[in-house]
Amino acid sequence: MEGYFKRRLILTTVLTFSFSCMFPVQALAQDIYKPKPLSEYKPTGLGATKFPVVPHKETDCAACKEIVERYNNLVDQYNRINVKLERLYLAWELDDEALKNEKKIQQSLEAQPNSNSPEIQGKLAASKSREQTLKEKIEKEQGKIGSALARKDLLERRMWEAESELGECVKTCKKVSMKIGGKPKENGEFAYNYSANNLLAKVNGWGAVSLGDSHYSNRSGLLGLGEIGVTAPLGDRFGLQLDGFDGTMAHNNFQNIEGFAFWRSPTQGLVSPHVQYQQLGNVRETLYGLRGDAYIQNWTLTAEGGGVHTNLSGIGGTYYGQLNANWYAQPDLKFNAGYLRIQNNNAFQVGAEYQLGLTSWPGLTTFANLGAGSHSLSYGYLGLKYSFGENKPLIQRERTDTVAPTFTPVTFTPVIATRLVF
């Protein structure tokens, strides 16, 4: 049986990785080291949309003014970087074409019957000299493009941070009306155009794999999971999310599927009903509850509660509740801690997630979680996750794209398993 579960884990990992590879993720070599026509080069990010934050009314709030000026300066730098990139790509394309022509000239000269004559050899040497000069020029252009892309990514992050600061400042002082790609409100409060600022403007998906160790009751063994999920918009403030897990826990097969139908404001929070079904061995469990998230600067606080139905004898309808806190030490670095209670049983979990910020894989994160609870439950695992869609910081991704995760699904069933039937 152990060999069966190992084979199943390998199959799950391969299928999840294959699923990720089907998406059009541009490789680093294609993104930086391959010339592309200007017609295909479309700047992305906040600055490229050409809607800098501008004051709609005069204000006596010095803090808001400072943030507005800083954001406008960042947008100006961002747009100048885009212009620079266009020029570099064009120069690269022209030099690459010239390099190809030199190779054709050399092939033509070498193919001539009198290719060993001094005249032909002189032309050949001149062509090779031009070829070497073009190669060195292209190498310098590659370096400049790499530096410009890194600078562009940094500016995108700083612009988003400035937007978040402005939102908090306006909510605090209530003395200014701002316009960010939309119309200001009559009462002078902060007007935020969610569509323009990537609030679930398109379908987003992700895939993840994780590997670790688990123990509950009298069982111990490998913990391996594969996950896929998708979030889709229903207008500017509403959305649907569906995700599922498949894998093994302590030599038992594990599956989980869950869904959300949520309302969200990226500056305030999220409210959503939550339905989750899972199976561990022969134990089946369904949770149905209500979740609420509060976005407070770099904190996301989550509370959820509802009912539980399981096929375990003696445990019919019962309740569950959980509290979770995510602290974003940096826009791409998150630490989390949570507490779960089901009936009279408890569980705790701590973890961290870091978005690596790779140019070609902007949505790639690495994560780790540790948990413990009733009935000798304990687990720990490491994993990789890739989120598709636009390049943005982790905190923004979890406040505008997906519903941020809380407890790992493997916690719920073992924590109430007073006796398991396998």
Residues 297 and 320 in one domain: yes
Residues 257 and 389 in one domain: yes
Please tell me the predicted confidence (pLDDT) of residue 302.
95
The C-alpha atoms of residue 319 and residue 302 are separated, in whole angstroms, by 17
Q: Position of tokens 């089907």?
A: 22
Number of domains in the chain: 2
Of the three residues 143, 160, 192, the one that is the final residue of a domain is: 192
Residues 176 and 215 in one domain: no
The C-alpha atoms of residue 150 and residue 398 are separated, in whole angstroms, by 23
Summary count for the chain: helices (H), strands (E): 6, 15
Cα–Cα separations (whole angstroms), residue 186 to 56, 183, 365: 11, 9, 41
Please tell me the predicted confidence (pLDDT) of residue 280.
83
Looking at the DSSP bridge assignments, the partners of residue 301 are 294, 325
**Domain span holding position 18:** 2-24+199-415
Residue 41 lies in a domain: no
343: left (phi over 0), alpha (psi -120 to 50) or beta: left
- Full-model pTM: 0.55
Q: 42: which DSSP letter?
A: -
CATH number of residue 160's parent domain = 1.10.287.1490
Residue 39 lies in a domain: no
Residues 155 and 57 in one domain: yes
Question: For residue 321, what is the enclosing H or E element?
Answer: strand 317-330
Residues 320 and 359 in one domain: yes
Residues 104 and 229 in one domain: no
Residues 232 and 178 in one domain: no
Residues 183 and 205 in one domain: no
- SS3 assignment, position 48: helix
Six token digits for residue 85? 């990139």
Q: What's the average pLDDT block by block, 10 residues per block, for the chain (422 residues)?
A: 44 41 32 35 36 42 75 85 88 89 88 86 89 90 89 85 75 46 34 38 86 84 90 86 89 88 88 91 87 92 90 71 92 92 87 89 92 86 90 85 77 49 31
Residue 422 lies in a domain: no
CA atoms within 13 A on the CB side of 67: 22
- SS3 assignment, position 253: strand
Torsion of CA 20, 24, 30, 35, to 10 degrees: 180
Backbone angles phi, psi at 206, to 5 degrees: -155, 160
**First CA to last CA distance, the chain:** 13
